[in-house]
Structure 1
Amino acid sequence: EAGPDDVVLAWEGAEVVAVRLPQLAESLDHILTALERREGRPLAELDRKAKQEIVRTLEARGAFAVRHGVETVAGALGVSRFTIYNYLNREKGR
């Protein structure tokens, strides 16, 4: 049974399967956890340059299209939302 947020796929005009996509907010949490594991320490302990690289990586993965994405990332990095926006604007200026 397809839910309201599921993607229904059709074959020759007939609906054959519904795909349930993971919630993007949950995916962001998983991405942050994976990045923390990769770095080997909490993201908040990284230096500014490393945090900027994390923001670039997350932007490329669409993390800031998620509702409250900036707030979530700011919390994980131990910085303000304003800092995240500064990092993003710096990238757009390049």
Structure 2
Amino acid sequence: MRVEAEFTTEPFRGEGEPPEHATAALEAARAAGLECDFGPLGTSVRGERDVVLSTLAAIVDAGLDHGADQITFQVRLEGRSAPRRTGNGLEALLADVAEELGGDLRTLGRPEKQRAVRLLEERGAFEFRKSAEIVASALGVTRFTVYNYLNRERG
């Protein structure tokens, strides 16, 4: 039986190279021979159930040993779609807005990124800890830019 696990290591960093805790966790998964997809908001790994589940501890160890202060997981049978995540945290809000706007938030033009920030604010995204950094990373902009978009909407 094959499973897929998605994990996110925190704290997020908005720009530049991925944080060491994220790359160390990814390397732990790769070392176990898992299929990996690395992204700005998390990593997805797939493989046989026993291998994936036994590797989760190594992923946690690698992340914590390299500066992560929180690691979250979601595990499901491979091929099962993730449940619609409306309202279940910042990552879910980002995924919903990306879907609504037609894809990867990083590829949107400036007006669409401003709209994404407006939608995220309307849905309570900025009530989460470090939300501006996380949103900035998802949009491919600086935290300062996110604050400018928010101020423009409020002003």
Give the corresponding residue for 1:50. 112
Task: For structure 1, list consecutive stretches of 5 or more residues without a partner in the other structure.
Answer: 1-23
Post-superposition CA distance 1:10-40 (Å, at most 9, x none):
xxxxxxxxxxxxxx8x611011112222233
Displacement of 1:92: 1.2
Deviates further, 71-80 or 35-44: 35-44
Question: % of aligned pairs identical?
Answer: 51
Normalising by structure 1, report the TM-score. Answer: 0.67
Q: Identify the match of residue 77 of structure 1 among 124, 134, 139.
A: 139
Helix, strand or coil at the partner of 1:41: coil
What is the Cα-based RMSD across aligned positions, in Å? 1.5
Distance 2:125 2:95 in 1: 13
Higher helix share: 1
Give 5+ residue unaligned stretches, structure 2.
1-86
Does 2:111 match 1:62?
A: no
Corresponding position of 2:98: 36
1:18-67 Cα distance to aligned partner (Å, 9 max, x none): xxxxxx8x611011112222233210000000000010111111111110
After superposing on structure 2, the runs of 4+ consecutive aligned residues of structure 1 that deviate more than 4 Å are none
1-structure distance, mates of 2:108, 2:128: 23
The structure with more strand, counted as a fraction of residues = 2
Q: TM-score, normalization: structure 2?
A: 0.42
C-alpha distance in 2, partners of 1:84/1:38? 19
